[in-house]
Amino acid sequence: MTTSSAPGKIYLFGEHAVVYGEPAVPCAIEQRARVTVEQRSDTALRVSADDLTLDGFTVEYDGAATGVPDVDVPQALVEAAMSYVQDAINQALDAADVEDAGFEISIESDIPLGAGLGSSAAVVVATIDAATRELGTVLSAEEIADRAYHVENTVQNGEASRADTFCSAMGGAVRVEGDSCGCINAPSDLPIVIGYDGGSGDTGKLVAGVRDLRNEYTFASDTISTIGDLVRRGETALAEGDTERIGELMNINHGLLSALGVSSRSLANMVWAARDAGAHGAKLTGAGGGGCIVALDPTDETETALQYTPGCERAFRAELTETGVTQV
């Protein structure tokens, strides 16, 4: 039996634009997914999940689900979650040079499913690490990141970037631009506050919507390029530890993402509540459509304001973590 964990992430800048080769800066946060893998004597796969903002579910199958989990989330999210696990196991088998094997897999997570905090990337990264170790193979964080990216890209129909999986595998703040990935400096004490509306966005649908907009309107293509320029300015602000400047650029980034149609009423309400409370900046994080916003505020004002904001189910602080995927 082997257990590995991997962190979730927030985007300071660059989601959606990163799909088109522009840079993005996600940061790993100390909300983690933990995956326990134990090899079976047969080739079946049994997956149990808890704490993914679901009621919990167990599915046993031999390549295709034989049961439908009874959970209070869109069925598409559950099906995607199972695809992530299955493809992660396939990557582990390939890495360990094992033709076939069955596993008992247990998933626990602090990260809301589909909320923009990198739950799928964390689960995939942790699953690949735990499964390969269970099979007697130890991969580098870089190889885990690469294999996890291919899982996400397959499940998301070629619309994924390397940002989420690289950040989860490596930890810390990272910069991703196309296939180029690297760790960058960022203040370790960024005063991160997260607001969660209790919902989730359909990543594939949202990414496809931005693509359609970009193909139809020049302004959308220009907006994506502008986000890339903003990210480059954000890197400088991060290197200088200029929290106020980082927040200002986050505000602009949110406006540009709203223009691309990926915000929502609940996300907008939380963003404005954070700004009104004095946050340096606030924006949606992840694909959008619902889920989470991230704000920077060293005081208690933003967290308190979010707790009283209609549509906000939960507000909490998050710390950056330098620890990526690790065996527990």
Q: What is the CATH number of the domain that holds 15?
A: 3.30.230.10
Catalytic residues: 164
24 and 146 both lie in a single domain? yes
Q: Residue 262 falls within a domain, yes or no?
A: yes
One domain, residues 177 and 205: no
Number of domains in the chain: 2
DSSP 8-state assignment for residue 148: H
287 in the same domain as 150: no
Residue 326 belongs to some domain of the structure: no
pLDDT band at 62 (very low <50, low <70, confident <90, very high): low
70 assigned to some structural domain? yes
281 lies in the same domain as 177: no
Positive or negative, the CA dihedral 47, 49, 54, 57 is positive
From 153, 169, 185, the end of a domain falls on: 185
Q: Do 173 and 63 share a structural domain?
A: yes
Least confident residue range of 73-82, 255-264, 268-277, 307-316: 73-82
Q: What percent of the chain has pLDDT over 70?
A: 90
User: Looking at the predicted structure, is the pLDDT value of residue 58 above 60?
Assistant: no
Q: Which two tokens stand for residue 116?
A: 């923009």
CATH code for the domain in which residue 314 is found = 3.30.70.890
Instruction: Please indicate, yes or no, if residue 327 is contained in any of the structural domains.
Output: no
Domain boundary among 162, 185, 208: 185
Closest CA to 203 of 272, 126, 138, 115: 115
**Residue range 280-298, pLDDT digits in tens:** 999 999 999 999 999 999 9
Judge if 276 and 200 occupy the same domain. yes
Judge whether 328 lies within some domain: no
pLDDT band for position 146 (cuts 50, 70, 90): very high
The torsion angles phi and psi of 184, rounded to 5 degrees, stand at: -130, 165
**Res 283: pLDDT:** 98
Segment (H or E) for 265: helix 265-276
Residue 29 located in a structural domain: yes
Q: Calculate mean pLDDT across residues 298-307.
A: 97
pLDDT confidence of residue 73: 47
Domain end, chosen from 185, 205, 232, is at: 185
Lowest mean per-residue pLDDT among 81-90, 262-271, 277-286? 81-90
Q: How many other CB atoms sit within 10 Å of the CB of residue 302?
A: 29
Q: Is the pLDDT of residue 262 over 70?
A: yes
Say what the pLDDT of residue 112 is: 80
Concatenated DSSP letters of 134-195: HTT----HHHHHHHHHHHHHHHTTT---SHHHHHHHH-SEEEEETTEEEEE---TT--EEEE
Among 78-92, 111-125, 134-148, the range of highest mean pLDDT: 134-148
State both tokens at 88.
């992660």
Residues 176 and 48 in one domain: yes
When mean pLDDT is compared across 41-55, 174-188, 238-252, 303-317, the lowest value belongs to: 41-55
Q: Are 48 and 105 in contact (CB under 8 A)?
A: yes
Q: What is the mean pLDDT of residues 160-168?
A: 89
Name the residue range of residue 295's domain: 192-318
Whether residue 44 lies inside any domain: the answer is yes
Task: For residues 62-73, give the mean pLDDT.
Answer: 48
C-alpha–C-alpha distance, residues 182 and 99, integer Å: 33
| pLDDT on residue 80 | 60
DSSP of 229-255: HHHHHHHHHHHHT-HHHHHHHHHHHHH
Q: What pLDDT sits at residue 60? A: 55
148 and 102 in one domain?
yes
Looking at the predicted structure, is the pLDDT value of residue 69 above 50? Answer: no
The verdict on 101 and 18 lying in the same domain is yes
Task: Give the rounded distance of the alpha carbon of 181 from its chain centre.
Answer: 16
Q: Which amino acid is at 12?
A: L
Do 172 and 69 share a structural domain?
yes
Average pLDDT, the chain: 89
Residue 327, phi then psi, degrees to nearest 5: -80, 140
324 within a domain of the structure (yes/no) = no
- Taking each helix axis as running N to C, give the angle between helix 119-134 and helix 163-170, from 0 to 180 degrees, rounded to the nearest 10: 60
Question: Do residues 31 and 124 both lie within one domain?
Answer: yes
Is residue 146 domain-shared with residue 199, that is, in the same domain?
A: no
pLDDT given at position 79? 60
Q: Read off the pLDDT of each residue in 246-254 and give the average, rounded to a whole number.
A: 98
